[in-house]
Amino acid sequence: MAMGRPREFDLDRVLGCALDVFWAKGYEGATMADLSAATGLKPGSVYAAFGSKAGLFTQVLDRYEDSVFTYARDAIQEPTVRQVIRHWLEGVARATTGPDTPPGCLLVHGALAAGDGAASIRAELAGRRERGEQFLVARLERARAEGDLPDTVDPRAAAGYIFALSSGLAVEAAGGADRERLLRTVELTLHRLPWE
Amino acid sequence: MAMGRPREFDLDRVLGCALDVFWAKGYEGATMADLSAATGLKPGSVYAAFGSKAGLFTQVLDRYEDSVFTYARDAIQEPTVRQVIRHWLEGVARATTGPDTPPGCLLVHGALAAGDGAASIRAELAGRRERGEQFLVARLERARAEGDLPDTVDPRAAAGYIFALSSGLAVEAAGGADRERLLRTVELTLHRLPWE
DNA sequence: CGAATTCTTGAGTGCTCATTCAACATCTCA
DNA sequence: TGAGATGTTGAATGAGCACTCAAGAATTCG
């Protein structure tokens, strides 16, 4: 029953280009003209393919998590809480200061850069950050059951602490701090964790 | 030689209203229409008095630091490093979750929400954050000289750690976290500092 | 008072934004 | 081959943006 004209662009490449733009400028800072220029798609094609700027952003977020948050998935596989946290925080420091990617974190940058008309975008990003935190909470709960985290420590509080530091590192990176500076903060953090 | 018509508005009140708008929406998120409505000044009067949106923002920043950063000035007066840091971090937690002010920190929010056309605004905010950090560095250097901070700890690294946490708390507040949650993170941080 | 000066006002400037649309192109299937 | 379906294109649309300006209003000084 007639399939229609096939799209001429590579979806993955387009999402990658759009990611760079959103990552560098935030949701509202990125204009359709920017996105059109970076992806090579005319505005009409973007709307045909993704419905809206917000629709494109949502797909870009999925791609961001898949490609950037590998360090988080790897981190929770580490055998001890110390190693989990080291892997996690060093991953944040590296991901937010990559030589080939914009400085900062899209989930942090995007959220704060969303103004009035983008309340739903802010909610979406807050939800994704929350999911990320739950990811770490679950690992720390397991650690407590295994005796690797003291009974006196609430895994949610510990994850909240690590997450606050992660967001702080992302802010510093977005503000121009270099990787060494971030890694020095990570090193000091790991010198002794609050419950050790 | 003729003084001209006196201004009809109270400068301090106008800056206060503008502060609320910038604080809630960031630099680029705040429109002149928002500012005009909140202050009661017509656009023409704003430009006559402040020159531009950026000029108004700069004056608002001064006012912000004067009124909100009292906790930082008070904190460094505390006698011990522990008390300095407690006062500082609790001040951040409270200032970013005030019942009568928007959530988050203007210096963090404003910086990340500044897109392409506002590079100078971003630089201004980065400079002000840097000045804030130096403020804490100086206090920690004194503490090290007094033996209140181990010789092995670099005051700049320690201040960087506290500042990363501060920014992280501000991001969480902007994302909707409540005061109790932030204070729980502060409590865990203080349970044992990395160099203790 | 009248001249000089500064503020206020309201309407308007040109620009950029996200989004749309009609015409055309390229595919599948019968 | 032709009908149906979908993708691409370039131009256009209306809304919102920071900012401006001419005219009028309030003041001080001579």
- Looking at the structure, tell me whether residues A26 and A111 fall in a common domain: no
State the pLDDT at residue B142. Answer: 97
Residue where a domain stops, chosen among B67, B90, B107: B67
State the residue range of the domain holding B139.
69-196
Confidence of residue B114 (pLDDT cuts 50, 70, 90): low
Q: Are residues A109 and A60 in the same domain?
A: no
**Does A112 sit within 8 Å of B171, measured CB to CB?**
yes
- Within 7 Å of a protein beta carbon, the nucleotides of strand C are 3-12, 16-22, 25-30
Q: Give percent of chain B with pLDDT exceeding 90.
A: 84
A171 contacts on B by Cβ (under 8 Å): 108, 111-112, 164, 167-168, 170-171
Shared domain check, A92 and A78: yes
Average pLDDT over residues B126-134: 94
Considering the domain architecture, whether residues A174 and A102 belong to the same structural domain is answered as yes
Q: In this complex, do A175 and B126 lie within 8 Å of one another by their Cβ atoms?
A: yes
Side chain identity at residue A30, one-letter code: A
* Same-domain status, A20 and A111: no
- Residues B80-93: tens digit of each pLDDT: 999 999 999 999 99
Residues 6+ apart with CB under 8 A from A103: A96, A97, A173, A174, A176
Which bases in strand D are touched by protein, i.e. have an atom under 7 Å from a CB? Answer: 3-12, 16-22, 24-30
Q: How far from A185 is each of A134, B63, B142, CA to CA, in Å?
A: 24, 31, 20
Assigned domain for B4 exists: no
pLDDT in tens, B1-28: 568 888 989 999 999 999 999 999 989 8
pLDDT value at residue A4: 80
Residues A177 and A193 in one domain: yes
Does nucleic acid strand D have an atom less than 7 angstroms from the CB of B2?
yes
A104 with A164, same domain: the answer is: yes
Kindly state whether residue A2 falls inside one of the protein's structural domains.
Answer: no
Q: Confirm whether any atom of chain C, the nucleic acid strand, is less than 7 Å from CB of A31.
A: yes
Lookup: nucleotide whose C1' is closest to A48 CA: D7
For the CA of B7 and the C1' of D25, the distance in angstroms is 12
Q: Are residues A77 and A23 in the same domain?
A: no
B104 and B136 belong to one structural domain: yes
CATH number at residue B18: 1.10.10.60
Amino acid, res. B152:
T
Distance CA A15, CA A181 (A): 31
Let me know whether A154 and A90 are in one domain.
yes
**Which of A19, A51, A66 delimits the end of a domain?**
A66
Per-residue confidence at B115, pLDDT binned at 50, 70, 90? low
Residue A1 lies in a domain: no
Q: Is residue A161 part of a domain?
A: yes
List, in order, residues 6 or more apart from B26 with CB less than 8 Å away. A112, A113, A115, B109, B110, B112, B113, B114
**Rounded average pLDDT over B89-105:** 97
**Do B73 and B63 share a structural domain?**
no
**Residue-level pLDDT at A1:** 57
Helices and strands counted in chain B (H then E):
10, 0
Q: What is the pLDDT of residues B137-180, one digit of tens each?
A: 999 999 999 999 999 999 999 999 999 999 999 999 998 999 99
Say how far apart CA B79 and CA B82 lie, in whole Å: 9
CA of B4 to C1' of D26 (A): 7
Q: How many CB atoms lie within 10 A of CB A138?
A: 13
For A93, which residue in chain B has the nearest alpha carbon?
B164
Which residues from chain A sit within 8 angstroms of residue B196, using beta carbons?
A: 192
Nearest Cβ partner for B184 among A112, A157, A192: A157
Please name the nucleotide lying closest to A2, CA to C1'.
C28
For B147, the 3-state DSSP assignment is: coil
Q: pLDDT-derived band of residue B57, with 50, 70 and 90 as boundaries?
A: very high
Q: End of a domain among B49, B67, B85?
A: B67
Does A92 reside within a domain?
A: yes
Contact (CB, 8 A) for A115 and A32:
no
Q: Which nucleotide is nearest to B35 (CA to C1')?
A: D18
How confident is the model at residue A111, as a pLDDT? 72
| Residue A20 and residue A73 share a domain | no
| Angstroms from A77 CA to nearest CA on chain B | 24
Residue-by-residue pLDDT tens, chain A, 196 positions:
567 888 889 999 999 999 999 999 989 889 999 999 999 999 999 999 999 999 999 999 999 999 999 999 999 999 999 999 999 999 999 999 999 999 999 999 877 766 666 788 888 998 999 999 999 999 999 999 999 999 999 999 999 999 999 999 999 999 899 999 999 999 999 999 999 8
- For B66-76, how does the pLDDT look when each residue is reduced to its tens digit (9 = 90+)? 999 999 999 99
User: Would you say the C-beta of A33 is within 7 Å of strand D?
Assistant: no
Question: Is B154 domain-assigned?
Answer: yes
What is the tally of structural domains in chain B? 2
Q: Is the shortest CB-to-strand distance from A36 to strand D under 7 Å?
A: no
| Residues of chain A found within 8 Å of residue B192, distances taken between Cβ atoms | 192-196
The candidate with the shortest Cα–Cα distance to A112, out of A93, A98, A125, is A125
Residue B179 has which token pair?
């005061």
| DSSP-derived 3-state class of residue B109 | helix
Average pLDDT score, chain B: 94
B1 in a domain, yes or no? no
Is A166 within a domain?
A: yes
CATH, residue A134: 1.10.357.10
Question: Hey, is B143 helix, strand or coil?
Answer: helix
Query: How many beta-carbon pairs under 8 angstroms link A with B?
Result: 145
